[in-house]
Amino acid sequence: MSNRRSNAVRPLRLATLAAAAGLLFALQAMPQTAAAQQRDPTRLITDTVANHASQHYAFQRFDVSSADGQRTWRVHVAAPKGAAPAGGWPAFWMLDGNAALIEFDDALLAELAAQPVPHALVFVGYANDLRIDSEARTRDYTPFAGERPVRDGGTIVGGGGADALLEIIERSIRPEVERRVATDPTQQTLWGHSLAGLFALHVLYTRTGAFDTYAAGSPSLWWGDGALLGAPEQRFVANNAGRQARVLIGLGEGERTREVAHRDLNDPRVQVHLRRIEAAPPDSAEKLAQRLSEVDGLQVEYRQFPALTHGPMFRASLMWALHAITGIADHSDTPSHADGVDPNR
């Protein structure tokens, strides 16, 4: 797809508009009280556990750039203190690494380090101070191009860089992680939320053995008019041939019921997004988990989180995955440090 097409403002698809007409009417009739609760795309990370000496983990940081020098990822790696097992530490990888770092405090590091075999932690983020780099993650976490909303209520075509990011992870990031920290190649978890959850499923479908566990929190199954629910899933199901993997899929109850009271419904960009998500039915994540559970070799768990909407699912799905994979207590119902809690309490 050419750059001209990728950057052109596009009208909404007629089919999408028709499918969402009832929803839009309902939205317009609701109170518009949630402007202050919208995600701030300019929010910065400040102090994190990576900036402080820890008794439990040793942090390192490095940057990796694309071959053309136009894209740079910042990776934080945290190794448990002490001698690694003979086969290396299990590794827990997190996308949106800048935002994921905020969710860790010293108490959580201590709990992780106290497990019989602690996990190394890998935070894959971007070389800036943004908590969430919306433009970069849309480019990197989507397997195919799709429409993104712009402020005036239109859309532009973007994304499609998932395979390129996966190459960066496999050829550049993973070798550098292994150079710095001894990790066990047979015990590797990939966690992601929203578009990053979509990316985790794409990796499961297309790169056999890249990880052994895939945790997708609130995966954006609507992206590209729900394309991942079609041919990519069907090819994977037909060709997995008993290969072993564990899959965790989580969704907030508010996402399932399409709760919108927390959104600013006067914002044209929000209106466009709410129409876009109609491309995947509300029960898509649960039904996907049911279908994948029937695939020979897969161990699949689905969890719905009471009352939670999409944003709070970032922390909830991360804490659930850490609980399920590392054995720590389940902290999925605790408040996010992004809301102002001291990460070093």
pLDDT tens figures, 85-126: 999 999 999 999 999 999 999 999 999 999 999 999 999 999
Q: What's the confidence (pLDDT) of residue 41?
A: 57
Catalytic residue among 56, 111, 193, 194: 194
Read off the pLDDT of residues 11-21 as tens digits, 9 standing for 90 and up.
Answer: 334 344 344 44
Among the listed residues 103, 147, 255, 278, the single catalytic one is: 255
Active site residue 332: no
pLDDT, tens digit, 9 for 90 and up, residues 236-269: 999 998 999 999 999 999 999 887 677 677 777 6
Q: Which of 56, 119, 310, 331 is catalytic?
A: 310
pLDDT mean over 310-319: 96
Does 255 participate in catalysis according to the annotation? yes
Domain 3-339: state its class: alpha beta
What was the pLDDT predicted at 58?
A: 97
pLDDT in tens, 147-195: 777 666 667 778 999 999 999 999 999 999 999 999 999 999 999 999 9
| Model confidence band, residue 207 (pLDDT cutoffs 50, 70, 90) | very high
pLDDT at 172: 97
Whole-model pTM? 0.85
Please state the three-class secondary structure of the chain as a single string.
Answer: CCHHHHHCEECCCHHHHHHHHHHHHHHHCCCCCCHHHCCCCCCECCCCHHHCCCCCEEEEEEEEECCCCCCEEEEEEEEECCCCCCCCEEEEEECCHHHHHHCCCHHHHHHHHCCCCCCEEEEEEECCCECCCHHHHHHHHCCCEEEEECCCCCEEEEECCHHHHHHHHHHHHHHHHHHHCCEEEEEEEEEEECHHHHHHHHHHHHCCCCCCEEEEECCCCCHHHHHHHCHHHHHHHHHCCCCCEEEEEEEEHHHHCCCCCCCCCCCHHHHHHHHHHHHCCCCHHHHHHHHHHCCCCEEEEEEEECCCCCCCHHHHHHHHHHHHHHCCCCCCCCCCHHHCCCCCC
Higher pLDDT, 211 or 8: 211
State yes or no: pLDDT of 307 exceeds 90: yes
Give the mean pLDDT of the chain.
Answer: 85
* pLDDT at residue 131, as a whole number: 94
Residue 147 known to be catalytic: no
Domain ranges of the chain: 3-339
38-47, 273-282, 285-294, 331-340: which is most confident = 285-294
